[in-house]
Homo-oligomer: A and B are copies of this chain.
Amino acid sequence: MLKNIKTYFPIFEKYPDLAYLDSAATTQRPKSVNEAINQFNSFENANIHRGVYDLSNSATKKFEQAREKVARYIGSSNPKTIAFTSGTTHSINIIAYSFLKSTLNKGDNIVITLLDHHANFIPWQMIAQEKGAELRVVPINKKGDLDITSLGKMLDEKTKILSLNHISNSLGTVNDIHEIIDLGHKKNIPVMIDAAQSVAYYDLDILTFNYDFLAFSGHKMFAPFGTGVLYVAEKWIKSITPYNYGGGIIKNVSAEETTFSDYPFNIEAGTPNISGVMGLSSAIDFINTFDKAEMRQHISDVTHYCIEQLSTINDVKIIGTPEKRSGIVSFVVKDIHPHDVASFLNQDNIAVRAGMHCTQPLLMYLETPATVRVSFSIYNDRQEVDRLKASLVALIKFWT
Q: Which positions in A face B, CB cutoff 8 Å?
A: 10-11, 14, 18, 20, 22, 25-26, 28-29, 31, 33-34, 37-38, 41-43, 45-47, 50-56, 86-90, 92-93, 96, 117-119, 121-123, 125-126, 135, 137, 217, 219, 224-227, 244-248, 250, 252-255, 258, 269-276, 339, 342-343, 345-346, 350-355, 357-358, 360-361, 364
**A354 neighbours in B (Cβ, 8 Å):** 52
**A217 neighbours in B (Cβ, 8 Å):** 270-271
Shortest beta-carbon distance from A98 to chain B in Å: 12
Q: Is the CB of B41 within 8 A of A226?
A: no
Q: Is the CB of B38 within 8 A of A22?
A: no
**A122 neighbours in B (Cβ, 8 Å):** 245-246, 250, 253, 258
Q: Is the CB of B226 within 8 A of A275?
A: yes
Q: Is the CB of B46 within 8 A of A22?
A: yes
Q: Is the CB of B271 within 8 A of A225?
A: yes
With contacts A11-B43, A90-B244, A255-B137 taken as known, whether A224 is within 8 angstroms of B339 at the C-beta atoms is: no
* Dominant SS among interface residues on chain A: mixed
When all copies of this chain in the complex are counted, the total is 2
Nearest neighbor of A88 in chain B, beta-carbon distance? B270
Q: Is the CB of A245 within 8 A of B93?
A: yes
Complex Cα spacing A54 to B20, Å: 11
Interface centre among A50, A343, A345 (most CB of B within 10 A): A50
Complex Cα spacing A89 to B369, Å: 39
Complex Cα spacing A255 to B128, Å: 11
With contacts A41-B29, A45-B26, A89-B246 taken as known, whether A225 is within 8 angstroms of B276 at the C-beta atoms is: yes
**A37 neighbours in B (Cβ, 8 Å):** 37-38, 41
Q: Is the CB of A248 within 8 A of B358?
A: yes
**A271 neighbours in B (Cβ, 8 Å):** 26, 87, 89, 217, 219, 225
Top 10 A-B pairs ranked by shortest CB distance?
A89-B270, A226-B273, A89-B246, A247-B358, A119-B246, A10-B42, A53-B351, A25-B47, A122-B245, A226-B226
Complex Cα spacing A198 to B342, Å: 45
Complex Cα spacing A26 to B250, Å: 20
Complex Cα spacing A28 to B18, Å: 36
Shortest beta-carbon distance from A266 to chain B in Å: 11
**A119 neighbours in B (Cβ, 8 Å):** 245-247, 269-270
Q: Is the CB of B360 within 8 A of A244?
A: no
Q: Is the CB of B41 within 8 A of A86?
A: no
Q: Is the CB of A33 within 8 A of B26?
A: no
With contacts A41-B33, A46-B25 taken as known, whether A54 is within 8 angstroms of B89 at the C-beta atoms is: no
Nearest neighbor of A12 in chain B, beta-carbon distance? B43
Q: Is the CB of A353 within 8 A of B90?
A: no
Complex Cα spacing A96 to B137, Å: 32
Shortest beta-carbon distance from A25 to chain B in Å: 4
**A245 neighbours in B (Cβ, 8 Å):** 89, 93, 96, 118-119, 122-123, 125-126
Candidates B224, B252, B345; contact of A41 at CB < 8 Å: B224
Q: Is the CB of B346 within 8 A of A224?
A: no
Q: Is the CB of B26 within 8 A of A89?
A: no
Candidates B43, B56, B121; contact of A253 at CB < 8 Å: B121
Q: Is the CB of B254 within 8 A of A361?
A: yes
Complex Cα spacing A76 to B103, Å: 43
* 24 pairs from A and B in contact (CB 8 Å cutoff): A10-B42, A18-B55, A22-B47, A22-B56, A28-B45, A33-B41, A37-B38, A53-B352, A86-B270, A89-B244, A89-B269, A89-B271, A90-B244, A92-B246, A117-B246, A118-B246, A122-B246, A122-B250, A123-B246, A137-B255, A217-B270, A252-B360, A254-B360, A276-B276
